[in-house]
Every structure is written in C-alpha cells, then in structure tokens.
Amino acid sequence: MFNSSTIQHLGCLQKFCASMDTKSNPKFVFNILLLCLFLKCHISLAADTISADQSLSGDQTIVSAGGVFELGFFKPGNSSKYYIGIWYSKKLVSMRTIVWVANRKTPVSDTFSSVLRISDGNLVLFSESETLVWSTNLVSATTSGSAQAVLLDSGNLVLRADGSNANTSEPLWQSFDHPAHTWLPGGRLGFNTVTNRTQIMTSWKSSEDPAPGLFSLEIDPNGSNAYLILWNRSRQYWTSGPWDESSRTFSFVPEMRLNYIYNYTYVTNKNESYFTYSLYNPETISRFLMHSSGQIQQLTWLENSGQWNLFWNQPRKQCEVYDLCGAFGSCNEVSAVACNCLTGFEPKSQNEWDLQAYSSGCSRITNLQYCGTAVSTSAKYRAPDGFQEIHNMSLPQNKQSVVVGNISECGPICLNNCSCTAYAYESSTRCSILTGDLLDLQQLATGDRSGTTLYIRLGSALPLLESGNANKRSLVIALVSGTAGLLTITFGYFLWKKTRGKERERRRKNGETKTLEKERKHRKRYDEILSNVADGGGMNDTELPLFSLQSVLAATNNFSEANKVGEGGFGPVYKGILPGNQEVAIKRLSKKSGQGHQEFMNELKLIAKLQHTNLVRLLGCCIEEEELILIYEFMPNRSLDKFLFDPSEKFELDWGKRFRIIEGIAQGILYIHKYSRLKIIHRDLKASNVLLDGAMNPKISDFGMAKIFEINQTEANTNRVVGTYGYMSPEYARYGHFSEKLDVFSFGVLLLEIVSGKKNAAFHRFEHSLTLAGWAWELWREGRGMEVIDASVRETCQPDEALKCIQVGFLCVQEDPADRPTMSSVILMLANEATSLPPSKEPAFSTHRNSVAVSSSPQTTPIISNNAVTISLPEGR
C-alpha cells in the first residue's frame, strides 16, 4: 500500500537538499532539487503514512491510499506563513481547499527546515528554530517511540500504535476528534462524558489566517440535543433547535431534511452525544464549514463549474451573525459588501477588512473633543462634538432608556455624558442612550420600516465636508430638523387621536354603531377564512385593512366596463379611485368561474405579509356577501410584456431601464426566497406578472400560485403542475418537483426576453430553435452574442452589461437545478463589473432531444401551449 523505504530515502535526501542549499554550487543543488522533486512526486503517490523515524518537510506530502486527500505544508492565500494542513487532492478538487490545519495558531516560516515527525509516540511539528510548535499532546507512556500517522481517504489523520490492527483498534489520536473549521462526512461533532472530549468547530480568522476566529459551532453543553453557534465562545446567536428523531432533523434546520444527498445521524447515550453524517452517494464531494463570516455552510463540489456550491447556510441572513462587523461597523444584508463603517469611522485594520474579516471593527477618524483624550490647548477653539444622523438602522440590544421631559433633551443628555456614543428617539418622552462601543448595528434595506434613526456622536470635524463652519451648520441643521420632524410626528399623532375620538363620538351620535358591528362581522369572517387556509403560519400579525363593498363599488363605478383594465388569473381587474384620489387596482374573484378561490386565498395570505419595493403592494381586501376582492396599489404602466413585445412601445425601454428592471425583479425574487419572514416560491414568474410603476420600476405580482416553504423544506413536489409553459423548469414540468431554482429558471427566461425583446412562448413559430434560450445559445456559441440583444437597444446598450445578462440568463436556465445559481449569486453577478462568470451548460429544452423527454415522461401530460396564459394541469399518475 505504501513504500516506507522510499520515504525514508526522501527524508534523508530532503535534509541533504536543505543543508546543501546555501553552501554548494548552484548547479549541483539544482540537480539535487530536481531529484528531490522527482522522488517527491513518486512518494506523494505512494505514501499515506508517516512512520517513526520518518519526517515530512519542504513540499513533501503524503496522500491517502485512494488519492482523495493530501497532507503537507501549505500557505493560505497571500500569507507568508506555512501550516500543516489536509486538502483534497488536486485530481478531485481543482481549487485548493483546506479541510484541517494542525498548527493553526503557530505557523512556521520556512518549510524546508521545519519537520513534521513522530516523536515519543506523538506526531509533532518542529519549526525552523527547532522549537516544538505543535503536537498531538498524548501522554504516551506505553507507545513510546512506536506510532505511525496514516492519512485516510475520509480526510482523517489517525495516529496508531505501530503494528496495531487498523481495523479494530481505536486510534491513539485522530484529526476528526480535533476539527478545525471543516466537518467532513464521517466526522463527529459532540462530546464524550467519559473522556470529557468535545468537538468544536472554529472559524478561521480570515481566508488567510487559519487561527481560531470568533465563531464556533458546538453541541449545547446543557444537553438539549441542539447545536449552538457562539461568538467568542460566549455569546450564542444561533441554535439548531433540538434534534427530532422522527423527522431526523434539527427543528430550525429544515434544510437537513430533504436529503437525497446527506444522511445525518444523531447518536446520544450515557457516554456520549454526537452528530455525524454520510453521503448517500459516496462520490459526492461535500464538506461542512464554519465560515469566517460566522455562518455554517454545507457545500458540494461541482466538478463542471470548478466551484463549491452552497447547499445551505445558517443563520440564513448574514447580519444575524452577532457582531460580524465589529465596533461601529454596520451590517448590510443586501449590499455586496456585508460590513461598512459608520460615517465618521474607518476600519481599524484595512487589511483584515479587505479579507472580509471585519471583527476588529472601526475606529474614529476624529477623536471626541471633550471625552477620553486630554484637552489640548487648541481644543477650546474647536467646535464641540456633534451628531451624525443615520437612517433606517436596527439598534443593538444594550441600550438604556431615559425618560425626559421633551425629546429635544436627548442630544444634550448624550453630549453631557462621556460614555454616551449615540442616541435615538424612542417615544415623545424617551430617548435611547447607547454607551461604549456600538456593536451589532444593522443598516436595514430600503422598504424595511422597522428601523430607527440613530444619532452617532462624532468629533467636530465630520469627514463628509471640508470646511469646519459648514460642519457645524450641518450638525445644527441635522439636530434641529431631526427634532422638528419628531415634533411634527408627535403633534400629528395627538391631532389624529383627537379627531379619531371625535369621529367615534359623531358615529355614536348618528347611530352608526351598526356599521361598526358590520365591520366587526366582516373582520371575523376574514379571520375565519384566513385561519382556514392551510399552512397559515402566523397570519395573526398582519392587520390588513378591510374595505366595504360599498366603497369598492364607489371606487370602480359599480365595476363598470370602462374601469376594467385587464383579466387576471382568476377574474377581472379594475382601476379604482378611493376617496382622496388614490388610484388602486381592484381584483375581483369571478363568481362564475368557481375556480381560483384557492389562488385568491393564497394571494391574500402571502402578499399581505410581503413588503418590498419590487413586489406589488396589497392595500386591503373586501370580503362581503359573496365577494372576494383584493385592492392593490395601482401600476400606471401596466405590465412588462405590454412594452417588451410591442414593436411600437418597446422603444420606451432603453437599455438603462431594462437593466434596472432586471435588477429590480432579481431583488424582488431574492426577497421572497430569502429575506421575507416566509420562504416563498412564486412559481409563475413571467413578463405579464411584472408590473411597472410610474417610474418604470418593476413590481412582481400575482402570488396566486406561490407556495410557502415553511422553514421546514427546501424542495417539494406537487400533484398539480401550475405555471406557464416556457417559464417552467424541466424538473418541475416533468416531475412536479420544485424549489427556489424553479423561480431562478423562470427568471432566466425572463432575463433573456428582456434583453432580446423576444417572447419565449411564441418562439418556435418563427425560429428553428425550440426556445428562446436555445436560439440565443446557438448564436452565442457562434460568437454572435450581440445579435441576441434586441435590435431596438443594440446600438445604445452597454454591450458588456447586456452580454453579461445573457450569460446570467444561460446560467439560470440550465437543466440541472443544482447548476443554476441562487438569486443572491445572480444579484452579485449582475452587480459586479469584474466578476468572471462560471461557464454554463446548454440550456434545458433547447434541443429536440430535451423536448421529447418532456412529452414522453410517464408522469406528466405533455404541456403544449402557445399563449402566455397560466395553465394548470393535473399531474398524471
């Protein structure tokens, strides 16, 4: 299996090379080095073992018997330091991927004079200065001098007493018991109550520093059968929830369920509790990572694209990682860079920040004038500290609430207290006072209204403006306008309360309690209906305004034909005008059809909870008598298809608008997939379901087909294939199997439609290819990508941007859902100018072979439809 005499030779030669290095004539050294290299090559294929009296240094490696893993010195990224590590052999994973590091905290700087060897029954690493920098640390009285280290194909490095039976004896030591940041299949995470041994995964500090970072994953020591992610081994910010043996998942990690890939097992008994996993298909290459971003990630290697594919991660949102951005840093969920320093602050270590290791946080550009630093002689001539207003922030928990007579006192209170670093308004008589370093701040996305305005205390010289005077003025303005705004709101609130009280009184006087009763009745029915909708999941927290039928009739002129603007999936849509001249779109469930009730409820349930600039907003509903009516914000520019496919209107959409529309749609989909309180698959994305507001901003509509993925699933099957031909992904059309990658597929089709101005559904009528993607792919392969772009924008577009969109489109419409990117990657690809995109495979359905597969599938009725109307097909059984 291995050739121990060769490695011994090599050990000697190696030492020889190292000693010759500086002294001898260069040519001789060169020849010897060549010989070393040759031998090394030979060795690294043959040896998986370091035996007693052998050593490893320089660029020697040992390789596991099946050639899966390799062990040796490595240098992470641009670092100049060396570590002993285990990585996948290059034949399997072309991207160097370290899975284990021995000397995480104690790198060496010269590999040729450092040695890894067996010493007194331990595997030890000596540095160039011959100091012991790492050891397996066994108290090895019995096995002294006779042990060997073997690298297994599982990636486990085991230390055994020499001559012990590898099949039966327990190893003296194994790397699986001491995981670094990676947990490989077959490894265990847990603790043993007999030996008190715990396995903890700790993130690297950064991509170039394997030293233990701040984030660790460990089993709950309290025995709740849950895993925790801790910050600095102390603060818990995520839990897997307890293990549920019946569903074989952790309650908060439903991703683990579906699992035709991973076989997770949890073992707990008197002596030990641990969690382990294996792969159903042993050829899959997969690893589990405690990433330096504070998230755990399950990744699989995609050979074709040469990339690690993220299967799932937790916590799902980057900003849920505690204190990711360090002191005075602010986390942003949607921007490409997760962390930014607050205005007036700069990264403490730009190098670390460049490596996306943010935990060192930010420091002040200008010191505070009256606190902390000694007052210099010139200080009295300087302006006092001031405040910088930062909008839409979520605040940390460690703030103090102070009662004040009026809120204009908040600023002065903060200024007069040296430990105060920021404040915010809480109510008309309360300020939040924040002291010390500000941790865990988050900049909320536009559209998220839950944030507050934070006033950060800064030294007088604000970095934003050059002149000191302007600074002072702007500070004063900021302070005054902030306060004034609040006063207006407060005043408005009182006024509103007062008038509301009067209104009630008037109503009572006029005997209108009847109306109220009626309203209550409708509200009750509404609640009933909603509670009857299956898998509701916390509708209670949504207070959707109820409109009376009377007001809807008035708004639409008794549903007059003149007000009708379209026919939706389940009934007509009217334009309406509410009192106050607010324009609305009113969707009425057709009574005749008898269908669509479910879709109506689905839409009501879902869209009421969704709030995002790129989703159409539901303003209210009306449930009265037999009527089911939804009231939306009105979209003056109707839907995208009205422009895109109309030869006389498509000129309205120049390239800039098209690109903005593409980005907006992507953001909307990302929101429903990832950032709303529910995970939702839209299932019917298409040009006619993208509405355009007055400024041509896209808003996704029609959630009638959408599916809530309760957090307990990432994929599902349906018996009813619904959607629109041409936008459906193959796995969905064939097997009713769907995931968020279905929406990604539809998005890809939509993207190609927007760029080309051609309609996918009507495609085969006048082209050779079966689909738009197939047609575009052919042109692309012939190097004629520009011809894919709509002639009406071809001359004026940004060619790079347009071509990139086409490429992203191709990535989204690939046959295998696993090959398609997630929406977050799509957004990154679209946003970054410089990123090179992974290569994509031929689009699904682009050839006859593919399409035959659709119609000959035993499980589905062939789906042939030329129009863009949503169809709904029962799945053949």
Ligand X SMILES: *[C@@H]1O[C@H](CO)[C@@H](O)[C@H](O)[C@H]1NC(C)=O
Binding site for ligand X (CB under 6 A): 77-78, 165-167, 194-196, 220, 222, 224, 232, 263, 265, 269-271, 278, 280, 391-392, 400, 406, 408-409, 417, 419-420, 433, 435, 446-447, 449, 487
| Region of 424 on the Ramachandran plot (φ > 0 left; ψ -120 to 50 alpha; else beta) | beta
β-sheet bridge partners, residue 278: 263
Nearer to ligand X, 64 or 846 (CB): 64
Q: How far is the CB of 315 from ligand X (least distance, A)?
A: 16
Q: Please report where in the chains the tokens 């004629």 appear, as a residue.
A: 784
Distances (CA, A) of 211 to 132, 173, 741: 17, 21, 36
Tell me which H or E stretch contains 250: strand 249-250
Number of neighbouring beta carbons within 10 Å of residue 276: 17
Nearer to ligand X, 446 or 513 (CB): 446
DSSP 3-state of 131: coil
Nearer to ligand X, 253 or 601 (CB): 253
Pairing of the two strands 452-458 and 386-394:
antiparallel
Distances (CA, A) of 788 to 72, 673, 728, 779: 49, 29, 21, 7
- Gap between the Cα atoms of 166 and 378, Å rounded: 76
- Gap between the Cα atoms of 313 and 320, Å rounded: 12
Nearer to ligand X, 413 or 871 (CB): 413
- Gap between the Cα atoms of 803 and 819, Å rounded: 20
Please provide residue 492's backbone torsions phi and psi, each rounded to the nearest 5 degrees. -60, -40
* From 684, 702, 743, 819, the catalytic residue: 684
DSSP 3-state of 12: helix
CB 183 within 8 A of CB 200: no
Tell me which H or E stretch contains 478: helix 468-509
Nearer to ligand X, 127 or 240 (CB): 240
Nearer to ligand X, 420 or 827 (CB): 420
Tell me which H or E stretch contains 565: strand 564-568
The answer to whether residue 535 is catalytic is no
Q: In terms of DSSP H, where are the helices of 571-654?
A: 597-607, 640-644
Please provide residue 410's backbone torsions phi and psi, each rounded to the nearest 5 degrees. -55, -50
The b-or-e profile of 235-262 (16+ CB within 10 A means b, else e) is eebbbbbebeeeeebbbbbbbbbebeeb
Q: How far is the CB of 671 from ligand X (least distance, A)?
A: 13
Nearer to ligand X, 432 or 739 (CB): 432
Helices 772-781 + 740-756 axis angle, to 10: 70
DSSP 3-state of 281: coil
Count CA within 13 A, CB hemisphere, residue 869: 11
Nearer to ligand X, 277 or 732 (CB): 277
Q: Which positions are catalytic?
A: 684
